[in-house]
Amino acid sequence: MIKRHGLTWPVLATMLALALALAACGSSDIGESCDEPGSIDECVDNAICTNEDGRSICRLRCDEQSDCPANYSCNGVAATDRKSCQPDKPAK
């Protein structure tokens, strides 16, 4: 078994995998909860924490309506100059 600096390759590989997993933690995916509306640091790339119906959720960032998928509208995020793709509310 090859050793470098007193550690075996399987141990080093495990440590690297753990470090990569920890680095990926902390970024909520689109549709997942977040803590601070307006934050882009809490969500995955190209998403923003959006206040929505009394809760905060990561949503895709947008500049115009064409940036959003069907059934979503590009609306402002409160207390920021940013916008996100927010689900359309059903008609009552």
Question: Quick check: is 55 in a domain?
Answer: yes
Assessment of whether the complete model's pTM goes beyond 0.75: no
Question: Quick check: is 12 in a domain?
Answer: no
Question: Quick check: is 9 in a domain?
Answer: no
Distance of CA 9 to the CA centre of its chain: 33
Q: Are 84 and 46 in contact (CB under 8 A)?
A: no
Question: Quick check: is 22 in a domain?
Answer: no
Q: Which of 87, 73, 78 is nearest to 49 (CA)?
A: 78
Question: Quick check: is 67 in a domain?
Answer: yes
DSSP 5-34: TTEEHHHHHHHHHHHHHHHHTT-BPTTSB-
Question: Quick check: is 82 in a domain?
Answer: yes
Question: Quick check: is 14 in a domain?
Answer: no
- Size of the chain in residues: 92
Tens place of pLDDT for every residue, the chain, 92 residues?
555 556 665 654 555 554 444 444 558 999 999 999 999 999 999 999 999 989 999 999 999 999 999 999 999 998 899 999 999 988 77
Domain count for the chain, please give it: 1
Q: Which domain range does residue 35 map to?
A: 27-92
